[in-house]
Amino acid sequence: MALRHAVLPKTLHAERRSTHVDWEAGAPGRSRASRRWRRGTPRRAWSAARCAPTRGGWAWPVRPDVVLGHSVGEIAAAHGVGILSLPDACDLGAARGGLMDRLPPGGAMVAIVAPEAAVLPELAGHEGVAGIAAVNAPSSVVVSGPEEVVTAVADALAAGGARTKRLPGATRSTPR
pLDDT tens, N- to C-terminus, the chain (176 residues): 766 677 777 777 666 777 776 666 655 566 677 777 666 555 556 655 566 555 555 555 666 677 777 777 888 888 888 888 888 888 888 888 888 777 778 889 999 999 999 999 999 999 989 999 889 889 999 999 999 999 999 999 999 999 999 987 655 554 55
pLDDT score for 125:
95
Spatial separation of the C-alpha atoms in residues 13 and 10, rounded to whole Å: 10
Torsion sign (Cα): 55, 60, 65, 71: negative
pLDDT of 6 = 72
Task: Determine if the pTM surpasses 0.85.
Answer: no
Task: Judge contact between 149 and 119, C-beta under 8 A.
Answer: no
- pLDDT value at position 105? 82
Note whether 108 and 151 are within 8 A (CB): yes
Hey, how many other C-beta atoms are within 10 angstroms of the C-beta on 76?
A: 24
